[in-house]
Structure 1
Amino acid sequence: MALGVEQRLGSLAVFTRDDFEGDWRLVASGGFSQVFQARHRRWKTQYAIKCSPGLLTEATSSDVNCLIEEATKMEKIKFQHIVSIYGVCKQPLGIVMEFMANGSLEKMLCTHSISWQLKFRIIHETSLAMNFLHSIKPPLLHLDLKPGNILLDSSMHIKISDFGLSKWMEQSTRTQYIERSALRGTLSYMPPEMFLQSNIAPGPKYDVYR
């Protein structure tokens, strides 16, 4: 794999495009990533493969570093309401994750009427996920929690995804948050303190404000 990725992945599995059947279906697309559904040839299991658009062609060292950082963070957080990572794909370079059959909460809200019972369950399970992230040592700040990053499985239970902007709290400073989130995060989901206070570093409250 280019740029020494395999030596930096620890226990994560490394897949190639040939491990999957040829029909990759685009299931989500944003400004900074695309997610494909693909079935493993031998295991016949559906996976989600997250690629940055640039990684579909030739990966730069910056692209690779961002992907490895996100993959290694995801590997360290195992929880029932956080999307599981299975490894990294090369050619194209991407993160191989569990496939969530009912897509994002954002899409669900646009196309379905959600019962109050399901709304309460989504809120409860999202709260459990964020409490877990903030309770580990050191805490992990998601920094981009929104309906598009809350995914639903076939039984309509949620899992949090997209840790591209996340940061271990002990490493987090407001300057780093501005550099990484202001240009890539979601403005409408940022807390007002981000803009009103000049010396505050991100903490768990940033993930709670929505």
Structure 2
Amino acid sequence: MATGSNSQEIRPSPELPKQLPFDFLKKITNDFSAERKIGGGPFGNVYKGVVPDDGRLLAVKKLQENAPMPPDKTFNNEVQNIMALKHENVVELVGFCWETQKKLVQFDGRYIQADITESVLCYEYLPNGSLQQNLFVTKTAEAVPSAEPAIDWSTRFKIIKGICQGLLFLHKLDIPIIHMDLKPENILLDENMVPKIADFGLSRVFGQEQTRLYTQTVVGSYGYMAPEYLYRGEISAQSDIYSLGLLILEISIGEQNCKDKNQPSARNFIDKVREEWTLEHIASKYASLDTEGLHQVKICIELGLKCAEIDRRVRPPIEEIVDTLNGLRANEMANEVPHASSVSKKMGFLGGFKKK
């Protein structure tokens, strides 16, 4: 260790307590200011928090006051259970707040003092932001149709596999966690572009512990909700598989599903992928890929379409999805997919894409 009057001892940053005061969270987010907002969803907004003592960063999710929250003790127990879960492809929950404060609220034309419970979840902060922020841009200044996506295919394939590994972990817990809001905004990327599923704890916090149930309150993101959930309120692990399929398709083709935010269904997007993404089209969009890379794109698109089937019973389980991705080997790909320069326009649809 260095000595002398000008030397400083380097100490590790102290651990934050698991339960954090609301005033502390207000301070590190500049009172949840608009400048610090980095994301949002149906249950609340996410803010960048900067701890003043050591400068460490946190992603602070302030839940909506009208979110369907469980009682105090249940919330605390569930959050602490979630904090114990560790996986490379799941965002780490590092702290939380459940604090009741008195506030002036307007009621029946006058102001009254009411008890308002503030519920906040604090996650690790990931520097590369969300998949949404990174995915839908191109390498060229102008987004021409032939331009390859900004993220190269090997990184995209790694992201797909990582998301699937994270979902496998959540679905295979003793009490499975059904995410219910898988979308590009809820996939965060670390400094090495390793994907991590975010907001994975909200379904447990809100009491959705059963492997299959029904709800009269359908809350989620248009374009990613499974049809049985969107139209019947039915929740199961296969609801997540549907959303996963759309994620896999978006990552594979570099195009965004549901550009029309008023359109709840993704059927138009799915049908467009099924019809347009022929073998020739893949080779054209990924002109720099070799045979192995083209085969990976092909299999991922096929897999995404299977996951996004309307009938939840025919969607593959998460174990099969992971096994399929892990089973891709170069020696299985030889001569199966020709390079772009040799693709004939007569080759037709990819295997498994064409509607029967």
Deviations 1:130-155 (A, max 9, x none): 11111211222112211111111122
**Residue in structure 1 matching 2:134, options 108, 126, 133:** 108
- In structure 2, relative to structure 1, the CA distance for the partners of 1:68 and 1:115 (3 Å cut) is same
- Secondary structure at the aligned position of 1:36 is classed as strand
Deviations 1:147-176 (A, max 9, x none): 11111112211111113235777625432x
The separation in 2 between residues aligned to 1:160 and 1:99, in whole angstroms, is: 12
Letter in 1 for 2:136: C
**Which sections of structure 1, spanning at least 5 residues, go unmatched?**
1-10, 55-59
- Secondary structure at the aligned position of 2:52 is classed as coil
**Residue in structure 2 matching 1:203, options 217, 227, 236:** 236
**Residue in structure 2 matching 1:165, options 186, 195, 203:** 203
- Secondary structure at the aligned position of 2:55 is classed as coil
State the partner residue of 2:165: 128
The separation in 2 between residues aligned to 1:118 and 1:86, in whole angstroms, is: 27
How far the C-alpha of 1:27 sits from its partner, in A, is 1.1
The separation in 2 between residues aligned to 1:179 and 1:16, in whole angstroms, is: 32
Q: How does 1:153-192 map to 2 (within 5 A)?
A: 153-162=190-199, 163-166=201-204, 171-175=210-214, 178-180=215-217, 182=218, 184-192=219-227
State the partner residue of 1:74: 82
Matched residues, number: 189
User: Bigger relative contact order, structure 1 or 2, given CA contacts below 8 A and separation 6+?
Assistant: 1
Letter in 2 for 1:43: D
The separation in 2 between residues aligned to 1:119 and 1:47, in whole angstroms, is: 26
State the partner residue of 2:120: 94
Deviations 1:108-139 (A, max 9, x none): 22345221011101100001001111121122
Q: CA RMSD in A?
A: 3.3
Letter in 1 for 2:213: R
Letter in 1 for 2:224: Y
**Which sections of structure 2, spanning at least 5 residues, go unmatched?**
1-16, 102-117, 139-149, 246-356
- Secondary structure at the aligned position of 2:122 is classed as strand
**Residue in structure 2 matching 1:37, options 48, 63, 71:** 48
**With structure 1 as the length reference, what TM-score do the two structures score?**
0.73
- Secondary structure at the aligned position of 1:202 is classed as strand
- In structure 2, relative to structure 1, the CA distance for the partners of 1:106 and 1:144 (3 Å cut) is same
Letter in 2 for 1:14: L
State the partner residue of 1:57: none
State the partner residue of 1:7: none
How far the C-alpha of 1:63 sits from its partner, in A, is 5.1
Q: Name the stretch that deviates more: 31-40 or 125-134.
A: 31-40
- Secondary structure at the aligned position of 1:208 is classed as helix
State the partner residue of 2:19: 13
- In structure 2, relative to structure 1, the CA distance for the partners of 1:73 and 1:155 (3 Å cut) is same
Letter in 2 for 1:81: N
- In structure 2, relative to structure 1, the CA distance for the partners of 1:188 and 1:65 (3 Å cut) is farther
Q: Name the stretch that deviates more: 84-93 or 66-75.
A: 66-75
The separation in 2 between residues aligned to 1:61 and 1:37, in whole angstroms, is: 21
The separation in 1 between residues aligned to 2:29 and 2:44, in whole angstroms, is: 20
**With structure 2 as the length reference, what TM-score do the two structures score?**
0.46
**Residue in structure 2 matching 1:118, options 143, 151, 155:** 155
- In structure 2, relative to structure 1, the CA distance for the partners of 1:16 and 1:202 (3 Å cut) is closer
